[in-house]
Amino acid sequence: MSVFINIRERDGAKRLTDALLSTEYVKHDDIIYSPVMSIVAFPVDIDWAQYNAVLLTSRHAVAALDNVHAGRVNVFCVGQATKDELVRQGYNNIIYTAKDVEELIRFLRSYEGAEQLRFCYLRAKDVSVDLAKTCDLSIDEYICYEAKAVDSLSDAARLLLSEKSDDVGDIYVPFYSRRSVDLFYKQLLAANIAGSANFITPLCISDSVLEYAQTIFRLKGKAAASPDMNGMLDICISVVTV
């Protein structure tokens, strides 16, 4: 029996859980929920009359948009999940959806007319890439949420990792960033079970995240073919359907 420890916050965890359960190889009991982050929204006061374009690098920022302006602003975003949430809320003028922030930066640098746009960038408190400073464009930043660290493992994850039984096969943990690797390992340390890292297989969103994870986790992991949620779903399903 293989087990997945699903470390995303509750809403983000659902998509992976649903995808795994859609196979005949994974049951509810094979998926343990143990988030490393929780999302805390911040109120933002934005004069939307100043802006004709919006930058979003996460679906968590969509809630900060004013739906009154759904038909007026041009939206540039990162991730299929962000685009799906935008469409769900009625935003149909999505100019470009990038797989990651670096791809969005490359697109903005080559986008004809970008210099004439004034961008509202709705972002997290902590970001891995400073989009506003990297792009030589008119970009105002608004911090609208924070991904706060969760200090401890869920009881189910702690029990699994501290008392691993012989009937438990591979233990997979999907990692979406270097920060998620760090936070999960800190949870192991806090629970005094850092040694359990030796029998965890990391499944990572990119080669760079995998390279980082392999400094902590002994078993050889895998990286997604594309650095997005679809890539993560594919790699997670692949390890149970081989």
Per-position DSSP letters for 47-93, written without gaps between them = -GGG-SEEEESSGGGGGGS-GGGTTTSEEEEESHHHHHHHHHTT---
Q: Please spell the DSSP secondary structure of 159-192, one letter per residue.
A: HHHHS--TT---EEEEE-SHHHHHHHHHHHHHTT
Percent of the chain with pLDDT over 90: 58
Q: What is the pLDDT of residue 115?
A: 93
Span between the terminal Cα atoms of the chain, in Å: 14
Chain-centroid distance, C-alpha 87 = 19
Counting as low any pLDDT under 70, the low residues of the chain are 1, 67-71, 164-168, 242
Distances (CA, A) of 11 to 14, 27, 75, 172: 6, 19, 23, 20
pLDDT computed for residue 11 by the predictor: 75
The pLDDT score that the predictor gives to residue 13 is 86
Per-residue model confidence as pLDDT tens digits over 89-137: 888 889 999 988 889 999 999 999 999 999 999 999 988 788 888 888 9
Give pLDDT, residue 90: 85
In this predicted structure, what is the pLDDT of residue 218?
85
Domains of the chain: 3-36+150-241 (3.40.50.10090), 40-148 (3.40.50.10090)
pLDDT of res. 92: 82
Give the angle 215-236-3 at the CA atoms, nearest 5°.
80
